[in-house]
Structure 1
Amino acid sequence: MDREPGQREAASAPARAVTLLLSWGANSYGQLGLGHKEDVLEPQRLNDFCDPKRLKLLTGGGGHSAVVTDEGELFVCGLNKDGQLGLGHTEDVLSFIPCTPLAGCPVLQVSCGWDFTILLTENGQVLSCGSNSFGQLGLPPGTKRQVIPQVIELLNEKVVCIAAGMRHALAATESGLVFQWGTGLASTGRRTCPEKTLPPFLTAKEPCQVTGLENSKVKTVVAGSCHSASLTDEGELYVWGSNKHGQLLSPAAFLPTPQKIEAHCFQNEKVTMVWSGWTHLVART
């Protein structure tokens, strides 16, 4: 159609943003939520088990995965031989399904270990399910596993952040204390530092306060396979556990108690967030 002189074409409408949920990689137990157990070499769109725009958190463990929505609903899939999906049974699940035992109990955060899961509810309680072979569930002695999430009663102060490693877990409370349980770091510590007595929190099978952080208020905790880290409200990062891959920025092979990473390592900036992989750490200033 001809235009009058000086008349412009109407600007095309901006493309509408589309939110997708994709998964790929190892899938031996159905942990990708795609409905099968075949490994996937390219990102695949997940079935619409929920609106991706509602997703708040995605995480995974040794062979299982978990998703939390904005409304606090928990979806799980993958390996479940120890009940780590919290569904009340031990059958693997190939597609994301709601964790029905937690219906009506909004979840704020979930963290998956090797064969267990810990959950933080909106009211500040911590629950756990799965294997307890190393005390990683933080439940009373004699508990071998739990197929339905159970409240960790010894954490009687409101918790604001949780983290799960391979066989240990952490919780930070509202007042800034840090608790650790599960003996996942103890064997590495004994082997690496045979001349040292390990602090109680490295060998505890129920929540035990982490010593060495008494003068700090911790707001975030993270965990790798055999290390832990905490971030304070002052932007200081403390680390402990295995340093096999140099992830703790220390000359020592193992740190039995929290050590502060010096500010010059972060160009004298305060750290605002920290994440942990299996054997590495990432920090943002």
Structure 2
Amino acid sequence: YNLMKGARHLTYCLGANSYGQLGLGHKEDVLLPQQLNDFCEPGCVRRITGGGGHSTVVTDEGGLFVCGLNKDGQLGLGHTEDVLYFTPCTSLLGCPIQQVACGWDFTIILTESGQVLSCGSNLFGQLGVPHGPQRCVVPQVIELLREEVVCVAAGLRHALAATASGIVFQWGTGLASSGRRLCPGQTLPLFLTAKEPSRVTAGLETSKVRCVLAGSDHSASLTDAGELYVWGSNKHGQLSAQAAFLPVPQKIEVHCFQNEKVTAVWSGWTHLVAQT
């Protein structure tokens, strides 16, 4: 929760806290909203993002604060100890952050200059660094993303980026296993199996994407024309399709949105929410 009070933001938290991901200094679950201390004064909170067991906060000045589960270095602090309070990511001081996407056990970081960094587990290539180590405890630049990036997303074991020119890249093999199981005998596109950024081409050739999203086992993108494309697992009907798995992006027909353009989309673990 991020509530305005004059010129200040009051930040509240609640829910599961097994790894200290609420930033309250303990590991007890919290059943009612509890106000966090002013850990980032004088900056105000711009974005809050949560992963499998870790949390991140980006301030108005582009500062990054992290806490929670850190066994794979997903907090980017240079070690693998859990952190119970929101702590500044000192390795990124002086590098203003625009957005952070938290996967299950990894983190994707977008700077204000459009550069993308990653840290945490790399067992499934989710850090986008080919031939890299199994984990990285300090954010490292994804060198293969050479274009300016404007939006990033992270799922269970895969990640995405959208560039300023509207191109989508995906990496990490998180969707490949369910794709092979649900699409037997079909060759999966490279972006579902790549451990480095791979362009998502099929289905998006003529579209300019401005936003990407990820759930545990699905991906989505929103174009500047207000069209929503989805791919990956449809186990819970989250892709509004008949097939159990969509190997390439498929547009959700406009009549599903009462013939209106989509202006914003959010993704949960196994569901999507769209605003017209």
Shift of 1:140: 2.0
Counterpart contact for 2:8–2:44, Cα < 8 Å:
no
Shift of 1:52: 8.7
Partner residue of 2:72 out of 79, 82, 85: 82
Partner residue of 2:264 out of 269, 273, 284: 273
Partner residue of 1:137 out of 122, 127, 137: 127
RMSD: 1.3
Matched, 1:284 2:275: yes
Q: Which has the higher strand share?
A: 2
SS at match of 1:20: strand
SS at match of 1:265: helix
Write out per-residue CA displacement over residues 22-78 of structure 1, whole angstroms, 9 at most, x where no aligned residue.
111110000000000011111111111024971110000000000000100000000
TM-score, structure 1 as length reference: 0.93
Matched AA of 1:257 = V
Shift of 1:19: 3.6
Summarize the alignment of residues 1-285 of structure 1 with structure 2, pairs less than 5 Å apart.
19-51=9-41, 54-212=44-202, 213-285=204-276
CA distance in 2, matches of 1:211, 1:141: 24
Matched AA of 1:55 = V
Matched AA of 1:177 = I
Matched AA of 1:102 = L
Shift of 1:20: 1.6
CA distance in 2, matches of 1:17, 1:154: 40
Matched AA of 1:253 = A
Matched AA of 2:181 = R
Match of 1:12 in 2: none
SS at match of 1:189: helix
Matched AA of 1:27 = N
Matched AA of 1:236 = E
Runs of 4+ in 1 over 4 A off after TM superposition: 15-18
CA distance in 2, matches of 1:275, 1:53: 26
CA distance in 2, matches of 1:257, 1:88: 37
Name which one, 1 or 2, has greater alpha-carbon Rg.
1
Matched AA of 2:177 = S
TM-score, structure 2 as length reference: 0.96
Aligned residues: 271
Query: Unpaired runs of 5+ in structure 2?
Result: none
CA distance in 2, matches of 1:31, 1:52: 22
CA distance in 1, matches of 2:7, 2:32: 22
Counterpart contact for 2:70–2:82, Cα < 8 Å:
yes
